[in-house]
Structure 1
Amino acid sequence: MSSSTVKYSIVVVSLLAMSACGAFRDRSHDYRRAELSKPLELPPGVESDALGDRYVVPGIESHTVLPGEFSLPRPEPLTKNVGTAEVKIQKLDDQRWILLDGTPNQVWPRVRAFLDRAGLKLGDIDGEQGIMETEWRETEPGAPLERFRFVLDQGVQVGTSEIHVLVQNRPGEDFPEVSTDLQREDQMVRVLAQYLADSEAQGTVSILARRGGSESKGKIFLEGEEGNHYLRLFLPNERAWAALGLALTKAGFEIEDASPAVNKYWLSYIDPEEELGWFSRMIGADRRKRSRYVVEMKMLGEFESVILLNYQKGRRLRNDEREALLKRIMGFLH
């Protein structure tokens, strides 16, 4: 018999002996047996004002006990992906944009300040759509003229904004759908993101850039009746699929398989908040339950989709479990 086996046997025997002796008596329900004690009696002539109850709980004259059993839900985890005053550059294929905290009407004056600092003269402005366009300018003698379009849009999460940059350095009256110089676009996105990260938010709110408004509601919503909750997402289909895959990974799901052809992810998940018993923690064993789910994204249009969550084997999810998992995924979508 090896020394490790002997040590393990001694630990187990010792634990069983200690348990039999009552060394590990469960005290978690002792409070249920607590009784009210009599008020403290003071000797005659001693004032009791300092010992009085400052926060007296009023009595309940009548009450009704509701039938059935109830479970208190866990508090929602802080899964918001975008931190305070954090600026990120997001990418999808050849697309890139800036993601930051603040509604579009809060970010608008900060972008205006950047344009003034960079010496870019504004041409057309559309505050309703959150669009700023610069005038044509010459970067150096003999080089093509260039101009920029900055689009401020509501972010996926509540209270966030996205800034998209479009570069045009070829003759034309209208801006193209894609920048004519992707390298120049990337440079401008990086410079603007660095400026926004370095500058302090002054809390200025512009009456322009009404896109999203002061009561911004984001682009993702938890909808559905009790027991049939789902997520509704307003993003281009390609970006929605990529954003969902990234959110699942960040939310702690392990992607076992993915099929863009049917818009499904097959997942496994271990609840990080599930508590282990003291014995499992002592011997280093992780006996938390691994659950397997399937997430399906149904495309309702070019810019709209819904996200459904179920067990892989067809078993029905509990109402509170589905809602909690969808909220967790929702917190990491951006």
Structure 2
Amino acid sequence: MIKKIALRVTVLGLTFLVGGCGVFFGDNAYFRNRDGDYQKADKIEPMKVPEGMNDQALGKLYPIPPITESEFDEESEYRAGVPRPQPLATNLMQENIKIQRLAEERWILMNVSPGEVWPRVRSFLNENNVDVASADISRGLIDSHWLQFKSDLSTTDRYRVQIDQGVQPETSEIHILHQSVVGSEPPESAEWPAQSSSKERESWLLDEMAAALAADTTIGGTSLLAQAIGGDAKSGLVVEANEPVMKIRLNEARAKATLFHAMKQDGFAIYDSAVEQGIYYLHYEKVEEDDEGWFSGLFASDGKVIHESPYTLAQLMTVVPTGDNFKTAPLSKPNKETQFPKAPGYLVFLKGESGDYTVHLRDAYGKRLDPHLARELLTVLRTNLI
């Protein structure tokens, strides 16, 4: 009897499910397929400003970035598979804000895009009564009105805030420029200096802004118009003549300093260098992640690699291709090299001019590496740029 009741309940349940499918699924059902709904959407006219007014300030609310060659050349005869994506510079779950310094230059580094930084900087200036005289969102520039410090009424001062793309993807830099003139009446027109009039007053605003941005725990908005600030990141991997190379868009001092820093991290060590010529002789040994077992504490390494080469950079440079031969250098075949045999390591060449440098990574004889190996090592270097 129990088996018959159970069987009837099962049959009734299946009947309900089959019959109920039409209620829940289908064109007129609750859970109908909505994939094609966008085709029925009405078109609306774009936003217009009143006649006689300038509409250029509106810009494109959703700019589409141009497609550029990066990471690898699809026409390359050496390409095999899609390369691994670039590692993020910082932890997305925690916003990092810190002050970077190179010689006398200091700036704020944030691991968010310029589109997120722009409204937060504007908010900081408003909250601290720093009136904005002009703002050029396309260039990431914010200029303040002339103001006076209560502690020193003998001068009149103003600030320029530059928001720019960082070296790593999805990072931003904030630079401060300070200008001071004698007297309480500022000049009608004054050119911005190349460097701050007072490093002390520049540092004051930089420190205050960094502290305020770090203390701000609220989730800020994103300026769609500010997404294109600064163009591309200040570093990137591209392919030139079927060879992976790294582009660095920094001034000479910072380009050499940040590259020198990267060449001492994550398994890299410098044998020798000719800094003025932008040539470095490196050793590389992949650093394995520490085992979290009990024995790992007994044999922990600080990650530094110390090796020596039997040859100097000056010796190796005598066999490195030059001029056009450098660009068309053949692939590396170290076992066939008769002069300075079995030379270990790699050569790094920094070529170009301030603001537009190209980094080539070659074998110890200046010959081209396998593209996959070159891209892998350049990726490690790029990750450690600051």
Residue 298 (structure 1) aligned with residue 351 (structure 2)? yes
Paired residues of 1:230 and 1:307 also in contact (CA < 8 A): yes
Paired residues of 1:79 and 1:332 also in contact (CA < 8 A): no
Against the structure 1 CA distance between its residues 125 and 274, is the aligned structure 2 distance closer, same or farther, given a 3 Å change threshold? closer
**Cα offset for 1:139?**
1.2
Give the percent of matched residue pairs that are identical in Structure 1 and Structure 2.
Answer: 29
1:234 aligns with 249
Paired residues of 2:234 and 2:250 also in contact (CA < 8 A): yes
Give the alignment of 1:17-166 within 5 angstroms. 78=87, 80=89, 84-140=94-150, 142-166=153-177
**Cα offset for 1:321?**
1.6
Q: Could you tell me how far apart the structure 1 residues matched to 2:241 and 2:277 are?
A: 26
Amino acid at match of 1:80: A
2:226 aligns with 209
Q: Could you tell me how far apart the structure 2 residues matched to 1:106 and 1:217 are?
A: 16
Paired residues of 2:138 and 2:229 also in contact (CA < 8 A): no
Q: Could you tell me how far apart the structure 2 residues matched to 1:135 and 1:302 are?
A: 32
**Cα offset for 1:209?**
3.3
**Cα offset for 1:182?**
0.8
Q: Could you tell me how far apart the structure 2 residues matched to 1:316 and 1:211 are?
A: 35
1:50 aligns with none
Deviation sequence 1:170-229 (CA, Å, 0-9, x none): 15522211110011111211111111111125240124435438xx64122211268621
**Cα offset for 1:289?**
12
Q: Could you tell me how far apart the structure 2 residues matched to 1:267 and 1:238 are?
A: 20
- The alignment yields a C-alpha RMSD, in angstroms, of 3.4
Give the alignment of 1:165-314 within 5 angstroms. 165-171=176-182, 172=187, 173-200=190-217, 202-212=219-229, 217-224=232-239, 228-273=243-288, 292-299=345-352, 301-314=353-366
Secondary structure in 1 matching 2:263? helix
Paired residues of 2:89 and 2:169 also in contact (CA < 8 A): no
Deviation sequence 1:57-112 (CA, Å, 0-9, x none): xxxxxxxxxxxxxx999967847257641112112222111111222121011101
Paired residues of 1:154 and 1:218 also in contact (CA < 8 A): yes
Q: Could you tell me how far apart the structure 1 residues matched to 2:179 and 2:209 are?
A: 17
Q: Could you tell me how far apart the structure 2 residues matched to 1:295 and 1:320 are?
A: 16
Paired residues of 1:166 and 1:179 also in contact (CA < 8 A): yes
**Cα offset for 1:119?**
1.6
Gaps of 5+ in 2: 1-79, 308-343
1:24 aligns with none
Against the structure 1 CA distance between its residues 175 and 208, is the aligned structure 2 distance closer, same or farther, given a 3 Å change threshold? farther
Against the structure 1 CA distance between its residues 77 and 266, is the aligned structure 2 distance closer, same or farther, given a 3 Å change threshold? same
Secondary structure in 1 matching 2:243? coil
Against the structure 1 CA distance between its residues 297 and 239, is the aligned structure 2 distance closer, same or farther, given a 3 Å change threshold? same
Against the structure 1 CA distance between its residues 121 and 228, is the aligned structure 2 distance closer, same or farther, given a 3 Å change threshold? same
Against the structure 1 CA distance between its residues 316 and 135, is the aligned structure 2 distance closer, same or farther, given a 3 Å change threshold? closer
Secondary structure in 2 matching 1:99? strand
Q: Could you tell me how far apart the structure 1 residues matched to 2:203 and 2:366 are?
A: 46
1:63 aligns with none
Q: Could you tell me how far apart the structure 1 residues matched to 2:173 and 2:289 are?
A: 36
Deviation sequence 1:260-304 (CA, Å, 0-9, x none): 22101111121113999xxxx9x97x9x997511111001x3310
Q: Could you tell me how far apart the structure 2 residues matched to 1:154 and 1:77 are?
A: 16
Q: Could you tell me how far apart the structure 1 residues matched to 2:147 and 2:268 are?
A: 49
Paired residues of 1:81 and 1:332 also in contact (CA < 8 A): no
Q: Could you tell me how far apart the structure 2 residues matched to 1:97 and 1:321 are?
A: 34
Aligned residues: 255
Paired residues of 2:178 and 2:202 also in contact (CA < 8 A): yes
Amino acid at match of 1:200: T
Residue 320 (structure 1) aligned with residue 372 (structure 2)? yes
Q: Could you tell me how far apart the structure 2 residues matched to 1:111 and 1:206 are?
A: 12
TM-score, scaled relative to structure 1: 0.67
Secondary structure in 2 matching 1:144? strand
TM-score, scaled relative to structure 2: 0.59
Against the structure 1 CA distance between its residues 184 and 222, is the aligned structure 2 distance closer, same or farther, given a 3 Å change threshold? same
Deviation sequence 1:216-252 (CA, Å, 0-9, x none): 6412221126862111111112211111111222333
Against the structure 1 CA distance between its residues 270 and 154, is the aligned structure 2 distance closer, same or farther, given a 3 Å change threshold? same
Gaps of 5+ in 1: 1-70
Deviation sequence 1:151-175 (CA, Å, 0-9, x none): 1111122111111101111155222
